[in-house]
């Protein structure tokens, strides 16, 4: 008794595994849990392809039986039996036909498999009742027809249900058992032989079913895995651009069919390039993986988050079709990005910029919506990053305008639309000009002068800065070579120019060409150049310094202002940003910062320059607080090279700086 309970438990266990789609018991392939639903969908789709034909065959066989038994005394019972079978077959047939137009599901639950098993067992039980009820009373011809029909159904059922082996087995077992049992009951050696044949056929069929099932499952797994690889981003394991596009198309289909709206987010990481430079590719990859996880944690079921390539991510936010709902998602994401990422054991902050387009508000065409989300993202980046924007028609114009400006900037260097201005830097102790900062100007043929605050970021983003920066170095050194030797030249250099070693080569070449001593050159870098500080940046700064070039930290106080930069990096000068000078007199905090920076610079042997001195009061303040140098409209506006005359006279009297 205990033994039979154990055997029963074992059978149930095996049945449950087979029902789950596990074919390893038969030496078949292991089914990865993540794709089990999709494999089931493949298997069921093969079976449903033959369902209608199988139901027609059922009805046809019922008619054959009816014809064979028409003149027999069992006609009435056979009619009832045929009626039951035809009714059930018609029901299944019609159901399948009404569902035929539905798209093939991508994944199916075990419930669907169970339903197939139930259908298979109902048909099998109806057929199993045929030999049990009619065989004994039937004439020899009738018996022959019954055996033929049973064998035919066994083969047909096994063939059509083979992709779902558990359904095939539930179909084979009752019918073959009933047929075999009925035949063997007769005390007739020929029938005994027939019964034995039936058993052999059934086993052969079962073997065939298992082999076929293993093969189709293996193929389905292979197909799904290769499909998945083609739709997955290797690094983050998120859907890739192809999958995203398909996701958008599917979402639009749902919108058309059920009126279900959604929104499309485009993302861009603000500091990805800097992290990549600082930590190398492996650090960049690590950031992308963590970003993917963080974004994923902000999504809900039904959303599709994808990595489109590089540091670009996109999201289809299901049902977030109005600004209020999309804003909830966007705010959640911004909040998630306010925490630091851990790269190589160090804390790194990385902001995210987002562009959002709403469906159907912003349109019902996939390509147009993608473009709109992208254009909204572009608008966010122009406006200052680490935030989000919804698509707006003006963005389109702004974006178009900016792209046009980008194109024109490319030609500006070659078309001689750029020129340089020079702004004096004064020694506050002696009141004399000690050098000039060169500031690039763009005189646009149609728009007139464009501020470098507008076009330098564009040049940086597009890489034009390399060519533009080289031009600035060449031109400004050429101008400075004509100045008295005690005047130095300050050149602004972008973070991007620091990423290649050509900066050093260019400077070497140009200083040689115009015979300007490296000691007269000052390179101004901003803190953003230092965020990306890595071995090569520090190496480059050191090489410049060893050569005699001085390094100034520009706009101090506006960036990340890590005091670490002041301690760790080879710097000669700090330029306190003009926003602090502008408010030094009215805001005690600004005054405190100026005082602290001067104190720190003294101890670290650095020179302090106060930028943007516009009034006598500000001049008095910076002098009283021991700033070494000053720059600003009060001393002089930036001037053209040709207008620097008064400042270049060695005999020029000390500037009248307020005392």
For residue 357, give the H/E element and its range: strand 352-359
Candidates 270, 286, 524, 533; binder of Ca ion (CB under 5 A) is: 524
**Cα 431 from Cα 512, distance rounded (Å):** 31
Report the residue closest to ligand C2E, judged by CB.
632
Residue 633 near which of ligand C2E, Ca ion, none (CB within 5-8 Å, type-dependent): ligand C2E
Torsion angle (degrees, nearest 10) of CA 313, 319, 321, 323: -80
8-state DSSP, 558: S
* Stretch of 301-309, 410-418, 452-460, 593-601 contacting ligand C2E, by CB under 6 A: 452-460
Task: Select from Ca ion, ligand C2E, none the partner in contact with residue 439, using the beta carbon and a kind-dependent cut-off of 5 to 8 Å.
Answer: ligand C2E
Q: Kindly state whether residue 492 participates in binding ligand C2E, applying the rule CB under 6 A.
A: yes
Binding flag, residue 559, ligand C2E (CB under 6 A):
no
Half-sphere exposure of 10 (CA within 13 A, CB side): 7
Smallest CA-to-CA distance from 310 within 350, 269, 262 is with 269
Work out whether 500 is an interface residue with ligand C2E (CB under 6 A). no
Decide whether 453 or 642 has the Cβ nearer to ligand C2E.
453
State how far the alpha carbon of 415 is from the alpha carbons of 400, 410, 418, 442, 641, in Å. 22, 9, 8, 11, 19
Q: Is 629 in the site for Ca ion (CB under 5 A)?
A: no
In the complex, least distance from residue 316 CB atom to Ca ion, rounded to whole angstroms: 43
User: Quick one: what does residue 280 bind among Ca ion, ligand C2E, none, with the CB cut-off 5 to 8 Å set by partner type?
Assistant: none
φ and ψ at 654, to 5 degrees? -55, 140
Q: Interface with ligand C2E by CB under 6 A: which range of 195-203, 209-217, 268-276, 610-618?
A: 610-618
- Candidate list 117, 440, 477, 531; residue touching ligand C2E; CB under 6 A: 440
Work out whether 503 is an interface residue with ligand C2E (CB under 6 A). no
Identified binder of Ca ion from the candidate list 492, 528, 537, 609, rule CB under 5 A: 492
Residues of this chain, 566-605, that bind ligand C2E according to CB under 6 A: 578
Which residues, in sequence order, are CB contacts of 293 under 8 Å at separation 6+?
none
Q: Does 131 bind ligand C2E (CB under 6 A)?
A: no
CB of 549 to ligand C2E, least distance (A): 16
Binds ligand C2E (CB under 6 A): choice among 303, 527, 554, 628: 554
For residue 515, count CB atoms less than 10 angstroms from its CB and return exposed for 0-12, middle for 13-18, buried for 19 or more.
exposed
Cα angle value 189/194/195 (rounded, 5°): 95
DSSP secondary structure code for residue 103 in this structure:
P
Q: Rule CB under 5 A: which of 551-580 touch Ca ion?
A: 554-555
* Contact status, residue 496 vs residue 532, Cβ threshold 8 Å: no
Q: In 312-385, which residue ranges form alpha helices assigned H by DSSP?
A: 323-336, 366-383
Among 410, 415, 423, CA closest to 467? 410
* Unique residue bearing structure tokens 């797994």: 221
Interface with ligand C2E includes 443 (CB under 6 A)? Answer: no
Q: How far is CA 591 from the centre of its chain?
A: 45
C-alpha span between 435 and 153 (Å, rounded): 100
Complex with ligand C2E: residue 271 or 577, whichever CB lies closer:
577
Q: State the minimum distance, in angstroms, from the CB of residue 632 to ligand C2E.
A: 3
Contact residue for ligand C2E among 428, 456, 506, 549 (CB under 6 A): 456
Judged by beta carbon, residue 1 or residue 453, the one nearer ligand C2E is: 453
Q: Which residues bind ligand C2E (CB under 6 A)?
A: 423, 439-440, 451-453, 456, 472, 492-494, 524, 554-555, 578, 612-614, 631-633, 638
Residues forming the site for Ca ion (CB under 5 A): 492, 524, 554-555, 611
């Amino acid at each position: 008794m205990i033994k039979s309970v154990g055997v029963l438990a074992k059978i149930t266990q095996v049945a449950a595994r087979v029902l789950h789609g596990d074919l390893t018991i038969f030496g078949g392939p292991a089914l990865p849990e993540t794709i089990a639903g999709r494999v089931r969908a493949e298997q069921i789709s093969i079976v449903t392809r033959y369902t209608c034909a199988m139901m027609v065959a059922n009805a046809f066989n019922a008619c054959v039986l009816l014809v064979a038994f028409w003149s027999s005394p069992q006609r009435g019972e056979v009619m009832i039996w045929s009626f039951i079978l035809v009714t059930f077959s018609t029901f299944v047939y019609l159901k399948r036909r009404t569902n035929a137009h539905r798209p093939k599901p991508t994944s199916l639950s075990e419930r669907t498999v169970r339903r197939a098993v139930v259908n298979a067992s109902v048909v099998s039980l109806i057929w199993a009742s045929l030999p049990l009820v009619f065989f004994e009373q039937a004439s020899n011809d009738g018996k022959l027809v019954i055996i033929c029909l049973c064998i035919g159904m066994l083969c047909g059922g096994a063939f059509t249900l083979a992709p779902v082996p558990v359904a095939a087995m539930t179909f084979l077992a009752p019918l073959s058992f009933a047929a075999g049992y009925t035949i063997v009951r007769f005390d007739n050696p020929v029938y005994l032989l027939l019964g034995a044949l039936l058993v052999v056929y059934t086993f052969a069929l079962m073997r065939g079913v298992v082999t076929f099932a293993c093969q189709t499952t293996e193929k389905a797994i292979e197909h799904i895995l290769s499909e998945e690889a083609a739709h997955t981003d290797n690094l983050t394991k998120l859907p890739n651009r192809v999958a995203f596009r398909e996701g958008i198309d599917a979402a639009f289909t749902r919108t058309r069919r059920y009126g279900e709206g959604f929104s499309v987010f485009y993302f861009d990481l603000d500091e990805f390039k800097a992290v990549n430079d600082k930590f190398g590719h492996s650090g960049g990859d690590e950031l992308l993986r963590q970003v993917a996880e963080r974004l994923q944690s902000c999504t809900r079921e039904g959303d599709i988050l994808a990595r489109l390539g590089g540091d670009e991510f996109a999201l289809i936010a299901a049902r977030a079709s109005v600004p209020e709902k999309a804003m909830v998602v966007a705010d959640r994401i911004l909040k998630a990005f306010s925490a630091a990422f851990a790269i190589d054991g160090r804390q790194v902050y990385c902001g995210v910029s987002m562009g959002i387009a709403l469906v159907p508000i912003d349109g019902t065409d996939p390509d147009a919506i993608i473009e709109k989300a992208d254009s909204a993202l572009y608008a966010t980046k122009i406006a200052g990053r680490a935030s989000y924007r919804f698509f707006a028609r003006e963005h389109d114009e702004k974006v178009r305008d900016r792209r046009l400006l980008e194109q024109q900037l490319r030609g500006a260097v070659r078309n001689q639309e750029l020129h340089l201005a020079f702004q004096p830097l004064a020694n506050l102790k002696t009141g004399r000009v000690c050098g000039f900062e060169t500031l690039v100007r763009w005189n646009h043929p149609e728009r007139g002068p464009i501020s470098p605050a507008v076009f330098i970021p564009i040049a940086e983003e597009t890489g034009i800065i390399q060519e533009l920066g080289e031009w600035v170095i060449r031109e400004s050194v050429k101008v400075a070579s004509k100045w008295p030797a005690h005047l130095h030249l300050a050149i602004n250099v972008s973070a991007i120019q620091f990423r290649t070693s050509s900066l050093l080569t260019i400077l070497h070449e140009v200083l040689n060409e115009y015979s300007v001593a490296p000691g007269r050159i000052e390179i101004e870098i901003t803190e953003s150049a230092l965020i990306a500080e890595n071995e090569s940046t520090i190496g480059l700064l050191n090489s410049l310094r060893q050569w005699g070039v001085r390094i100034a930290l520009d706009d101090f106080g506006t960036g990340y202002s890590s005091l670490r930069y002041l301690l760790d990096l080879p710097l000669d000068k700090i330029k306190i940003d003009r926003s602090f000078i502008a408010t030094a007199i009215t805001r005690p905090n600004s005054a405190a910062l100026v005082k602290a920076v001067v104190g720190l610079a003294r101890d670290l042997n650095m020179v302090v320059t106060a930028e943007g001195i516009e009034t006598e009061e500000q001049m008095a303040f910076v002098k009283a607080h021991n700033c070494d140098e000053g720059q600003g409209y009060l001393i002089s506006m930036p001037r053209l090279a040709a207008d620097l005359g008064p400042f270049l006279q060695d005999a020029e009297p000390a500037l009248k700086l307020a005392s």
